[in-house]
Structure 1
Amino acid sequence: MRADARRNYERLLAEARTVVADQGTDASLEEIARRAGVGIGTLYRHFPTREALLEALLRDRFDGLRAHAEDLLTRDDPFEALLAWMRRLATGTVAYRGLAQAMMAALQDETSELYVSCHGMRAAGEALLVRAQEAGEVRPDVHPNDVLYLANMVATAAEQTPDDTGLHDRLLTYTTDGLRPR
């Protein structure tokens, strides 16, 4: 990539982080381009779709969730490891309003630019789930997508009540209690 194209790409991502944090995943692409000092055509050359831009913004976050899951696989308590990963997923998802819905939609759409990143993150969480199930700490009928749905429901609820800082933990505790075998 040419140096000027690389600078434009980096400026677009930097401004996208700010604008999407302020306006959510439906943020104005024109506003992002304007703040980056480029035309909308430049934005679309680098990111042909909104999902392509979101994927670029979220790639590091999803890679971090995968790495966190790998680290958690070494924890003694498989249930606590799964809960820690779900907590990080839920709290990270609140960074961008609408992200929980975008992630869940992407997991169902193999043509989405977000699909590969979301699927890799899902696979990492699945390894934690399977480990907890094999240890008898989680019901065998819990599906990997169920874990993602629960974490994203918590994130969506917390997104609606940003002043309640303990809401994530309380809701995750309540919901994960339902994952345990009876």
Structure 2
Amino acid sequence: MTVVTTSENFWEISVPDNTARGGRRHAGLRADARRSIERIVTAAESLISSRGPEVTLEEVAREAGVAPATLYRHFPSRMHLFEDMYRGKTAAFAERATDLASNLSPLDALVQWLREFIDLCIESDSFLSSLLGQGLRETDPEENLRWGYSKIVMAAEGLLVEAQRTKALRPSINASELIVLVSGVARAIELASPSSRIAPSGAMRDRFLMIILEGILEPSEAVSLAHPPHPS
């Protein structure tokens, strides 16, 4: 089990730690089966990005170059496929925090990760909406949200603590609070510009994020998003 508890017990979450793509459903598969799954997921991501979440499994199978029976063996429904995609994206993004921390200063790593987190929230909205709309009939959307939240908060906490340790950020904010605030930026972008859901406005994202950062930076610190940092 994975337990995430903030310093002020703002939220406490306990969820199964099946973090690999597909969780237990794809455990112990042969190499060729894993390759088929990767092709299916890649095809689904491409189709959904261009056409939305209404694509059928038959269309995904055709795009992936696999037989429909192969796809259904791994993903009994569209919701199982969407769940796999959501968990894969979330786990990969949580690991992104480690990459940034290894190549940037603590504050720059946190800022860049938050910028990418906002983009991920907007990109994943169609997957989450489909999962939530399906209810509890085929997958458990609430458990998926708890799982995703725990992964993201743990990644954010590592970056946040390091930035606070260097006295760049005020110690009064915790990772749960920061994620809730920054998640609101994605929602604000969607409300302000519905057409930006696929390609969010970088200027709008950075402006809203800067407003949040100005409230949690120590007075002696300053950060600019005009030229975003990138790891070498």
Corresponding letter in the other structure for 1:70: T
Query: Which residue in 2 is equivalent to 1:176?
Result: 213
TM-superposed deviation, 1:172? 1.1
* Mapping of residues 31-180 of structure 1, within 5 Å: 31-33=59-61, 35-36=63-64, 38-39=67-68, 42-48=70-76, 50=78, 52-58=80-86, 61-74=89-102, 77-98=105-126, 109=142, 111-112=143-144, 116=147, 119-159=150-190, 160-162=194-196, 164-180=201-217
Distance 1:127 1:57, change over 3 A: same
Larger helix proportion, structure 1 or 2? Answer: 1
Q: Residue 73 of structure 1: SS of its match in structure 2?
A: helix
Note the residue ranges of structure 2 that are not aligned, 5 or more in a row. 1-28, 132-140, 220-232
| Preserved contact between residue 101 and residue 109 of structure 2 (Cα < 8 Å) | yes
1:116-137: CA deviations, max 9, x gaps? 5653343121111122233343
The 2-side partners of 1:20 and 1:136 are apart by 42
Measure the CA separation in 1 of the matches of 2:109 and 2:31: 43
> Distance in 2 between the 1:72 and 1:129 partners?
12
2: distance between equivalents of 1:138 and 1:7? Answer: 43
Moved more, 28-37 or 123-132: 28-37
Shift of 1:53: 2.3
Q: Shift of the alpha carbon at 1:170?
A: 1.4
User: What do you get for the CA RMSD once the two structures are aligned?
Assistant: 3.8
Radius of gyration: which is bigger?
A: 2
TM-score, structure 1 normalization: 0.67
Give, in whole Å, the separation in 1 of the partners of 2:90 and 2:32.
28
Question: After TM superposition, what 4+ stretches of structure 1 lie above 6 angstroms from structure 2?
Answer: 100-103
Q: Distance in 2 between matches of 1:132 and 1:4?
A: 43
Q: Which residue does 1:27 correspond to in 2?
A: 54
Unaligned runs of 5+ in 1: none
1:47-88 residue CA offsets vs partner (Å, 9 max, x unmatched):
245554235335554454334322333567433321111012
CA distance in 1, matches of 2:165, 2:30: 50
TM-score (norm 2): 0.55
- Percentage of matched positions with identical amino acids: 30
Does the 8 A contact of 2:94 with 2:155 survive in 1?
yes
Contact 2:82 2:127 in 1 (8 A): no
**C-alpha separation in 1, matches of 2:188 and 2:49:** 17
